[in-house]
Amino acid sequence: MKTFPLNAWYAAAYDVEVKAALLARTLCNQKIVMFRRKDASVAALEDACWHRLLPLSKGRLHEDQITCGYHGLVFNGDGRCTHMPSQETLNPAACVRAFPVIEKHRFIWVWPGDPALADPALVPDLHWNDDPAWAGDGKLITVKCDYRLVLDNLMDLTHETYVHGSSIGQIAVAEAPFVATHGNRTASVTRWMEGIDAPPFWAGQLKHATGHEGKVDRWQIIRFEAPCTIAIDVGVAPAGSGAPTGDRSKGVNGYVLNTITPETDKTCHYFWAFARNYCLGEQRLTHELREGVSTIFREDELILEAQQQAIDDRPGHRFYNLNIDAGSMWARKLIDKMIAAEAPAAPRPAVIPLRAA
């Protein structure tokens, strides 16, 4: 059973990670090497020399080309071999695979599937990550679990109450009703908690930004975009100031941006960022929020890795779903649909034609 589709854009790195140097990373069970060319574009190649498989990332980058660190074969950013030792003519088949690459919303996106299908319009929407109306920053963590467990985690925020009780969790999150909807490539879960006490994190943000203390209306609007991107619109506003009906002007708003790239079937690269629409110029706050959210995600990491181990202990186990799992069930259905669309067509049964005598 495949766990992810190949025909999709996957975040391979933060923009700042890819320089004029060789960066090795595994995506979707595929080892790749990336580098930034002199014209600032990014190349992504299969990380194995055509000749003897030494990872090209152990070679040297020179003039936008990689020289293999074993026998000196040279490959350009399109994957074509341009030099071989002791050899006049080059085998025209001497290529390593090159992957389509796009840089957008502060991520380097790689398409591991059929290059002919790599439509730039399919890059997931994480525009808050480089929109001047928002400020923020993020990190990459590599988690030892199937990327879908991270999606499950994000599609139901009930867990905040139990996993993140000291920061963003509160019993209201586990008790408030929610609405789940879905489209062709997206699924959403919306939860409003009106007239509640803000949890420690949000109480602090609202007071810092607006001076307000006291009851709030809190929202969490989770938007999944298949196969592995989730943007969560979160915030609080003074209770009764109109946020549920559209006026968020008295409150504070953030976006938790998440895109989770399978590294292997049981490990993933979790890229996240937190963007806010208040106190934009406060660098100290950006730093503080990045480190604070990092602590929260570390709490999730421990849970997710323990869950993956428990799953590994029970091959074939089928899960029971609760009401709270509505969002993640939709996310998984959309992923399964993408995977099924890539399956080779089943061979038609051989039919022996009958003919009338």
Question: Footprint of a copy of itself on this chain (CB under 8 A)?
Answer: 31, 48, 50-55, 58-59, 67-72, 84-87, 91, 94, 152, 156, 158-159, 161-163, 174-175, 177-178, 302-303, 306-307, 310-311, 313-314, 317, 319-320, 322-324
User: CA-CA distance, 248 to 259, in Å (whole number)?
Assistant: 26
Decide: 156 and 328 in contact? Cβ < 8 Å.
yes
Q: Which is nearer to a copy of itself, 132 or 316 (CB)?
A: 316
Q: Residue 162 Cβ, how far from a copy of itself at the closest point, in Å?
A: 5
Residue 239 tokens read as 């209770």
Q: Which is nearer to a copy of itself, 291 or 312 (CB)?
A: 312
Handedness of CA 283, 286, 288, 291 (dihedral sign): negative
B/e letters for 269-285, b = 16+ CB within 10 Å, e = fewer, are: bbbbbbbbbbbeeeeeb
Handedness of CA 324, 216, 295, 222 (dihedral sign): positive
Q: Residue 302 Cβ, how far from a copy of itself at the closest point, in Å?
A: 8
Q: Residue 198 Cβ, how far from a copy of itself at the closest point, in Å?
A: 20
Q: Residue 214 Cβ, how far from a copy of itself at the closest point, in Å?
A: 26
Q: Residue 143 Cβ, how far from a copy of itself at the closest point, in Å?
A: 15
User: CA-CA distance, 35 to 19, in Å (whole number)?
Assistant: 6
Q: Which is nearer to a copy of itself, 213 or 312 (CB)?
A: 312
User: Is the bond into 227 cis (omega within 30 degrees of 0)?
Assistant: yes
Q: Which is nearer to a copy of itself, 94 or 285 (CB)?
A: 94
User: CA-CA distance, 30 to 262, in Å (whole number)?
Assistant: 10
Q: Residue 316 Cβ, how far from a copy of itself at the closest point, in Å?
A: 13
Q: Which is nearer to a copy of itself, 324 or 339 (CB)?
A: 324
For the chain, helix, strand, coil in percent to 5 are 30, 30, 40
- In the sheet with 135-143, reading across from the earlier edge strand, the strands are 135-143, 267-276, 252-264, 229-238, 216-225, 186-196, 178-182
Q: Is 92 helix (H, G, I), strand (E, B) or coil?
A: coil
Q: Residue 222 Cβ, how far from a copy of itself at the closest point, in Å?
A: 15
Q: Which is nearer to a copy of itself, 76 or 277 (CB)?
A: 76
Q: Which is nearer to a copy of itself, 31 or 185 (CB)?
A: 31
Q: Residue 192 Cβ, how far from a copy of itself at the closest point, in Å?
A: 14
* DSSP assignment of 291-307: HHHHHHHHHHHHHHHHH
Q: Which is nearer to a copy of itself, 31 or 208 (CB)?
A: 31
Nearest 5 degrees, angle CA 126-CA 127-CA 130?
115
